[in-house]
Each structure stands twice: as structure tokens, then as C-alpha cells.
Amino acid sequence: MALEPLPEITENQALPCAISNPDKPSTVRSEDNPYSNALLQFDRAVSHLDLRRGVTDMLRSPKRELTVNFPVMLDSGQIQMFTGYRVHHSVVRGPTKGGIRYSSDVTLDEVRALAMWMTWKCALMNLPYGGAKGGVIVNPKQLSLRELERLTRRYATEISVLMGPESDIPAPDVGTNPQVMAWIMDTYSMHRGFSVPAVVTGKPVEIGGSLGRTEATGRGVGFCILDALKIKGISPENATVAIQGFGNVGSVAARMVHELGMKVIAASCSTGGLYSSDGIDPFKVTRHLEHGGCVSNFEGVDSISNEDLLTLDCDVLIAAAVENQITSLNADRVKAKILAEGANGPTTPEADDILKDKGTFIIPDILCNAGGVTVSYLEWVQDLQSFFWPVDEINRKLQYLMARAFESVTETVQRYGVSSREAAQILAIQRISDAILIRGIYP
Ligand code: NAD
């Protein structure tokens, strides 16, 4: 028997959102709250689309949120409690994908925002994933290696009700790295009784990680900067670059732009930064960090605060640290012609408005740092097929996918007359809305 098509629900018939959740953020707007910023960005993008009201409501809230409070045995024999989260924003286009963050600043609202941005990023890149994010409130630098391993294995066990190669695939983020992913993969595999490499990405290559994954986010940032310089008519050899956050993303992006002939004049980490108008060699700074130094005590250069770095006179500013760095308080002093968002959510909506008036070319986070999830996707595919590609092939695929997404965003900017952030989100949200309606509302 043929099924009757679903009746069209008109705007007037759409029901108000009936979900009541005491953990939901206040509706009062706060520029400091990443989730509040993510929602305002979403509302701005959606205002250019003709979405069904229920679809908009569906995408405004995370699909599911898990909070876990769990004990860890410290080396001293003391038992310490920790709190962690795993949020799935959307499962419409496939399993959820998103990093795990270890930081004392982690909040549920931050994880919600990061999960939502992951949904948009995966859809923008046309990857068959929805967005997720996880986090534990912990300063990993205050734990020994063994304590970190025990915390990771316990957290992985706590969130294993959600995690799986077909359901939710974590990856590294701030404060986590390939070793942490290896412990998660091993913990999950021990519980299953056999190795499940596809349960996480960003693993060491020895256990099913992909060549090129560690560098992928920074490489993607580099590809985007090249495209943006072309649009702005600046040759790479004449471009000066400042980088906030010299971690995984920032340091790789620094080395890439240096190799492309650009002059890196400043870099920073959470404790401070370095500056040289003659330019610095990011390879030397990386070696200095590998030998236990930090960015702020690299010799032969001037020091600079994070605040001053953001407002340096330069062609490209790479924001590769954390959220809310460029806000209504400092956006009017940003002088960079191009802002490359290596981090997630570094610019607030208020700052977006100011930068728009100044004509700053923004490469939005969900495009600029999408190289990471793109190669994570390639890693997952390689794990599922148990067949691995050489690094040249990975980098070629990454470059192609980044260029395709950059081009689509540029076309959408022109078509809708919107900012690049709105354009990127418009493309993503339309794709997800289409998927929701094609799948239908269960039951
Ligand atoms: P990381 O921990 O390797 O590096 C973060 C860097 O930022 C460190 O140098 C840290 O000292 C610095 N930092 C932290 N807070 C700061 C502050 N307030 N001011 C200045 N510097 C500060 O993390 P990462 O993996 O490089 O991630 C950086 C950003 O990129 C995050 O927003 C993350 O969500 C995003 N991102 C990462 C990936 C990835 O593949 N690692 C992918 C996409 C997006």
C-alpha cells in the first residue's frame, strides 16, 4: 500500500518549541557565551533561508547531551572527581563527529556551541557526518602522564554509551592529542573484545591513524589564506602574518605560510607572545617548544601580549587559540586585512559587525579550520576499508575539498549579498534542512 505524503504544515500551524530543559542557556544574549554566539550566527544565516519553522527549531537545539561525573585515582592515592560532557548536535547526515577538549575553562555551553559548529562544518564540506563535541573540565598540564591516561580511559568508558564507529567518532582538540586518541581507541576496543580503529580519528599512524592528519587543520588554513590573498590582490611574498595560538593548528599554519614565502612577524601561546618585524622562522620556534621552551621565551625577538598581537598591523591574522578573542572590545583596533579563523568561534557576532564595516576579509572557522575534520573523515574511511593511502594522495584530496568549499562560499557571498560566515552557514544549513525533509520526521 502506498504511503500518503505527509501533510504540509504551514507556518501558522507550526507548534512552539515545547522542549523544557533546566540546563538550557538563558535567552538573554551574552557576548561571552559561545553558545549564545553560535545561536545568533545561526539566526542570522537562517534569516536568508526559507526554512520550515520546525526544522529551524530542530537545528537550534542539540540532539542529545550527556554530563558525566567520574572519579580518577591520582598518583598520590587520592580520588578526585571530574566532570565531562559529550554533546551531539545533529545526526541527520550521518554519525556525529567532533573533538574532545581538556581544559579548566570547559563549560556545557561551550561544548554545545562547538558541537553546533561541527554540524555546519561537516555539512559545508559535504562530509557524511553530524556535529558533536566533548570536553572534560581539567587542566591536563596538572596531571602526570599516568593520571591523564586513567582520566582518559574513565571518560571514554563513561561516554561509550554514545561513542562508536557508526555512531559518534571523537578526535583531538585543545588539550588532547594523538596519544589521548590512542587510549580512547584502546579502551573502546578492550570493551568490544577486538580492535576498533575507526572509533576515533587523529590517532597515531601505527594504530590506524592517517598520514597527514596532524598537519591537516593547519594545511587547510594555509590553503584558505592563499585563496583569500588572491581575492585581495596581495602576493604571498609581500604578506605579513601574525598568529595567535601556536599549538597544533597555529604552528602548522605558521610553518606552511612561511614555506609559501609569507613573513611571520608574531606568534603567541596562552602565556604571551613573540614579535619581530624582520620575521621569525616558525620551524625554529617549533624546535624550541619541542625542547621544553615556550613561545614567550624564544630568544632574539621582542615579546608581545596576546591583546597587542591581535591588533598588529599585518596582512593576515590567524586566530588559532580559543573562542571569543575578537570581540566588541577590540575589533575596531584589528588592522589585519584578512582574518583566518583557525580556532572555532574566535570572533563574536558583535565583532563581526565591526569587522564588516572595516572591510576585513574573514575566512570563517567552519571553512578555515575544516581541514582537520576532512582528513579525519579520510582516516575513518581508511580504517573502515583497512586500506591506507600515501600522504600525497591525502594532501591532494584535502586541497581539492578545501578549494571546492572555498569556491562555494565565495559564490554564496555573491548570490545572497551576505558575509562569508553567513554564506558558509547558509550552505550548510540548507543541506541539513534538505536532508531532514528527504528523510522525513519519524515516525
Ligand atoms: P592546542 O592545544 O594544540 O593549541 C592551542 C594553542 O592556543 C596553545 O598554544 C595555547 O597556549 C594557546 N592558547 C590557549 N588559550 C589562549 C589564549 N587565551 N590566548 C592565546 N593563546 C591561547 O589546540 P589546537 O588543536 O591547535 O586547537 C586550537 C583551536 O583550533 C581550537 O579552537 C580548536 O577547537 C580549533 N581546531 C582544532 C582542530 C585540530 O585538528 N586540532 C581542528 C579544527 C579546529
pLDDT in tens, 377-398: 999 999 999 999 999 999 999 9
Cis peptide before 282 (omega within 30 of 0): no
On the question of pLDDT at 12 being above 50, the answer is no
- Binding site membership of 136 for ligand 1 (Cβ less than 6 Å): no
Distances (CA, A) of 331 to 119, 208, 267, 356: 27, 42, 19, 10
- Binding site membership of 174 for ligand 1 (Cβ less than 6 Å): yes
Ligand 1: distance of its center to the CA of 372 in Å? 12
On the question of pLDDT at 85 being above 60, the answer is yes
Strands (E), 28-115: 64-73, 79-88, 96-103
- Binding site membership of 246 for ligand 1 (Cβ less than 6 Å): yes
Torsion sign across C-alpha atoms 23, 28, 29, 30: negative
Q: For the chain, how long is the longest CA-to-CA vector? A: 79
Percent of the chain with pLDDT over 90: 92
Asked if 113 and 37 touch (Cβ cutoff 8 Å), the reply is: yes
Over residues 208-243, the pLDDT tens digits come to 999 999 999 999 999 999 999 999 999 999 999 999
Find the length of the chain.
443
- Give the span between the Cα atoms of 30 and 150, in whole angstroms: 36
| Residue whose CA lies nearest to ligand 1 atom number 8 | 247
- Binding site membership of 344 for ligand 1 (Cβ less than 6 Å): yes
Once rounded to an integer, what is the mean pLDDT over residues 42-52?
97
- Give the span between the Cα atoms of 117 and 130, in whole angstroms: 10
Which residues 6+ apart lie within 8 Å of 259 measured at CB? none
| Residue whose CA lies nearest to ligand 1 atom number 43 | 369
Tell me what pLDDT residue 372 has: 98
The more confident residue out of 328 and 16 is: 328
**Beta pairing, strands 79-88 & 130-137:** antiparallel
Opening angle at CA 172, ends 169 and 178, nearest 5: 105
Please give the grid coordinates belonging to residue 425: 552557514
- Give the span between the Cα atoms of 51 and 393, in whole angstroms: 38
pLDDT band of residue 25 (cuts 50, 70, 90) is low
Tell me what pLDDT residue 29 has: 85
pLDDT band of residue 19 (cuts 50, 70, 90) is very low
- State which H helix or E strand residue 163 sits in: none
> Residue 417 in 3-state DSSP?
coil
On the question of pLDDT at 22 being above 70, the answer is no
Name the residue type at position 414. Answer: Q
Query: Whole-number mean pLDDT of the chain?
Result: 94
Once rounded to an integer, what is the mean pLDDT over residues 34-46?
98
On the question of pLDDT at 168 being above 90, the answer is yes
Strands (E), 104-148: 130-137
Asked if 133 is an active-site residue, the reply is: yes
CA atoms within 13 A on the CB side of 191: 16
The more confident residue out of 309 and 29 is: 309
On the question of pLDDT at 24 being above 70, the answer is no
Q: Residue 322 CA: which ligand 1 atom is closest?
A: 32
pLDDT band of residue 26 (cuts 50, 70, 90) is low
- Give the span between the Cα atoms of 61 and 19, in whole angstroms: 9
On the question of pLDDT at 332 being above 70, the answer is yes
Among 101, 200, 249, the mutation site with the greatest number of ligand 1 atoms within 8 A of its Cβ is 249
| Residue whose CA lies nearest to ligand 1 atom number 36 | 343
CB atoms within 10 A of CB 221: 32
- Binding site membership of 408 for ligand 1 (Cβ less than 6 Å): no
| Residue whose CA lies nearest to ligand 1 atom number 13 | 270
Among 101, 104, 173, the mutation site with the greatest number of ligand 1 atoms within 8 A of its Cβ is 173
- Binding site membership of 327 for ligand 1 (Cβ less than 6 Å): no
Tell me what pLDDT residue 23 has: 58
pLDDT band of residue 10 (cuts 50, 70, 90) is very low
| Residue whose CA lies nearest to ligand 1 atom number 20 | 270
In the set 63, 121, 133, 203, the catalytic residue is: 133
Q: Residue 246 CA: which ligand 1 atom is closest?
A: 9
Distances (CA, A) of 3 to 6, 7, 8, 203, 262: 9, 12, 15, 46, 60
Q: Name the packing angle between helices 391-416 and 108-124 (round to 10°).
A: 90
| Residue whose CA lies nearest to ligand 1 atom number 33 | 343
- Give the span between the Cα atoms of 108 and 94, in whole angstroms: 23
On the question of pLDDT at 121 being above 80, the answer is yes
- Give the span between the Cα atoms of 103 and 105, in whole angstroms: 5
